[in-house]
């Protein structure tokens, strides 16, 4: 392990966060709130710390996967700790544990909250809380690579360690250019959504924060009722953009190029993602018809909740915890499936589910026809054995960590089984609300400190695809080269 390289990367990340902390400070100044100065204080502290950490550049930038993994993991932990301190300083969230939970939930785009009265927060804190979604949606390291002048072959290692999905692919040969293209698309879609919400007469502050939440598929709202207070048109815009941000961004890149538009529409993962949304919406709309005054209203809310849950955003227009068992069961399944790889969404990812299904089908076929030779293809491309094996191992590791987290929460003994199960499901898959004690009309504040730190780990592990966080506990990772 080259500790100087890790220190330098963490310093660069701190520089970025120092600049980003100025935005909630400015938002607070607009509303003349004294809480705004807590963000200025942390921006200054971050800048000073960043200068000290990057003052001396490492003599040799020999960058191995372990440096990338540790740098990414520690970066997410560090920005969460620094990002939580303004809440503690300004008194909006006095408890450090609760502030850290809220901030990790923000950066990992989970949207699970400990707040009982969201509207009691200052505008500065509300802005930062939602803006963490936008930062974490595409990735902290990707953001850094896009704006900070850094050179060297290690960029790909950093991006690979943070990228969601079973495989990592650069849009263009240079990683820095890939990061810029991703954020150009991301920023453009964000701007379009803000404009459409303003046209639909949503207040500017709400439009900004709700867009940050749907763009990062995070789910922090600025009202206690989440998205329930907004008009059906505003909710429809949120639904469409949540689904759009859950699409693999490679598809948008193909559309951006123009000449590869056909390839964008032929992506198998995107096709199945949309099919799952359509089928789930229709099933739930029929199942909850009696809960609403018209079939259209039932379809509207079913479409919103399906889009919100499968993209792991977590906004809600109704308390879906009171829906029939079939509808709640479908939503729980969608929590596990998640959005597309290469999107801002969480969950297992549709691509992994596709590969898993095809692996099962292949094994059944070979059992019936032992001499047959078959391969697994996605988008007409044969998947390497290492990719298929990686997906299967990921599922196994996912199951072990899920059961382990469940055990900790059950050992704590404060909540019922459904609450514990959906609390882990909602945080591990970066969704936000669960059912029962952590349903859309409730929050995570009643959980113990032990449970909260367990779920914080789950949020980080889920966002970083498990391995980066687990590698921190492997002794050999920390040995010097």
The tokens describing 144, both together, are 């850094």
- The whole-number pLDDT of residue 343 equals 86
Is residue 287 a part of any domain in this protein?
no
In terms of pLDDT, which residue wins out, 434 or 181?
Answer: 434
Is residue 285 a part of any domain in this protein?
no
Q: What is the CA radius of gyration of the chain?
A: 22
Is residue 241 a part of any domain in this protein?
no
Is residue 288 a part of any domain in this protein?
no
Whether residue 347 is predicted with pLDDT greater than 60 in this model: the reply is yes
Whether residue 165 is predicted with pLDDT greater than 60 in this model: the reply is no
Alpha-carbon span 43 to 30, nearest angstrom: 18
Q: Which of 240-249, 365-374, 466-475 is least confident?
A: 365-374
The tokens describing 63, both together, are 């960058």
The percent of residues above 90 in pLDDT, for the chain, comes to: 63
The tokens describing 55, both together, are 């003052």
Whether residue 383 is predicted with pLDDT greater than 80 in this model: the reply is no
Alpha-carbon span 260 to 385, nearest angstrom: 27
Whether residue 173 is predicted with pLDDT greater than 70 in this model: the reply is no
How many helices (H) and strands (E) would you count in the chain?
21, 2
Whether residue 62 is predicted with pLDDT greater than 70 in this model: the reply is no
- Is 320:331 a contact under the CB 8 Å cutoff? yes
| Straight-line distance from the first to the last Cα atom of the chain, in angstroms, rounded to the nearest whole number | 5
443 phi-psi bin (left φ>0, alpha ψ -120 to 50, beta other) = beta
Alpha-carbon span 447 to 419, nearest angstrom: 10
Could you give the residue ranges of the DSSP H alpha helices within 311-384? 325-337, 350-368
Kindly indicate the confidence band of residue 252, based on its pLDDT and cuts at 50, 70 and 90.
confident
Q: pTM here?
A: 0.92
Element (H, E) at 377: strand 377-378
In terms of pLDDT, which residue wins out, 461 or 140?
Answer: 461
Domain range enclosing 44? 3-174
Q: How many domains does the chain have?
A: 1
- The whole-number pLDDT of residue 151 equals 46
Kindly indicate the confidence band of residue 246, based on its pLDDT and cuts at 50, 70 and 90.
very high
Whether residue 350 is predicted with pLDDT greater than 60 in this model: the reply is yes
Using the CB atoms, write b or e for 396-419: b if 16+ within 10 Å. Answer: eebeebbeebbebbbebeebeebb
Whether residue 157 is predicted with pLDDT greater than 60 in this model: the reply is no
Query: pLDDT tens, 117-127?
Result: 999 999 999 99
- The whole-number pLDDT of residue 481 equals 63
Is residue 260 a part of any domain in this protein?
no
Is residue 116 a part of any domain in this protein?
yes
φ/ψ (deg, to 5) at 167: -135, 160
Is residue 222 a part of any domain in this protein?
no
Is residue 204 a part of any domain in this protein?
no
Residue in 304, 292, 282 with CA at minimum distance from that of residue 234: 304
- The whole-number pLDDT of residue 63 equals 67
Query: pLDDT tens, 182-224?
Result: 888 899 999 999 999 999 999 999 999 999 999 999 999 999 9
Could you give the residue ranges of the DSSP H alpha helices within 31-109? 36-54, 65-90, 96-107
């Amino acid at each position: 392990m080259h500790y100087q390289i890790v220190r330098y990367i963490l310093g660069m990340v701190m520089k970025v966060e120092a600049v980003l902390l100025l935005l909630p400070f400015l938002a607070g100044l607009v509303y003349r709130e004294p809480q705004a100065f807590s963000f200025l204080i942390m921006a200054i502290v971050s800048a000073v710390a960043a200068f000290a950490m990057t003052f001396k550049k490492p003599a040799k930038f020999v960058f191995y996967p372990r440096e990338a993994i540790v740098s990414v993991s520690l970066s997410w932990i560090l920005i969460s700790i620094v990002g939580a301190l303004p809440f503690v300083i300004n008194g909006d969230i006095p408890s450090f544990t609760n502030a850290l939970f809220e901030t990790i939930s923000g950066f990992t785009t989970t949207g699970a909250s400990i707040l009982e009265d969201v509207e009691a927060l200052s505008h500065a804190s509300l802005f930062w809380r939602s803006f963490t979604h936008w930062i974490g949606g595409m990735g902290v390291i990707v953001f850094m690579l896009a704006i900070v002048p850094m050179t060297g072959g290690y960029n790909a290692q950093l991006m690979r360690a943070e990228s969601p999905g079973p495989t990592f692919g650069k849009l263009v040969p240079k990683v820095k250019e890939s990061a810029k293209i991703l954020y150009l698309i991301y920023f453009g879609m964000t701007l379009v959504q803000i404009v459409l919400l303003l046209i639909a007469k949503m207040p500017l502050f709400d439009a900004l924060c709700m867009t940050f939440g749907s763009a990062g598929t995070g789910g922090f709202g600025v009202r206690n009722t989440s998205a329930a207070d907004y008009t059906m048109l505003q909710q429809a815009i949120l639904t469409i953009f949540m689904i759009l941000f859950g699409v693999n961004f490679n598809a948008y890149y193909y559309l951006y190029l123009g000449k590869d538009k056909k390839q964008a529409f032929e992506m198998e993962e995107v096709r199945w993602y949309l099919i799952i949304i359509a089928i789930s919406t229709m099933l739930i709309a029929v199942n909850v018809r009696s809960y609403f005054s018209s079939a259209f209203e039932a379809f509207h809310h079913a479409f919103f909740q399906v889009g919100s849950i499968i993209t792991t955003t977590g906004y809600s227009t109704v308390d879906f915890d009171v829906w029939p068992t079939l509808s709640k069961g479908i939503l729980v399944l969608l929590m596990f499936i998640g959005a597309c790889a290469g999107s801002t969404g969480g969950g297992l990812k549709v691509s992994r589910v596709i590969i898993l299904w095809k692996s099962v089908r292949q094994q059944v076929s070979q059992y019936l026809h032992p001499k047959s030779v078959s391969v697994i293809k996605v988008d007409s491309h044969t998947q390497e054995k290492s990719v298929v094996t990686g997906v299967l191992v990921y599922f196994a590791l996912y199951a072990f960590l899920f059961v382990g987290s469940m055990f900790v929460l059950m050992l704590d003994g404060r909540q019922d089984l459904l609450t514990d199960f959906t609390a882990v499901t909602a945080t591990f898959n970066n969704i936000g609300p669960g059912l029962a004690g952590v349903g859309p009309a409730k929050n995570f504040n009643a959980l113990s400190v032990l449970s909260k730190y367990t779920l914080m780990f789950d949020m980080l592990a889920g966002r970083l695809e498990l391995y980066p966080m687990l590698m921190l506990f492997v002794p050999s990772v920390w040995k010097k080269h």
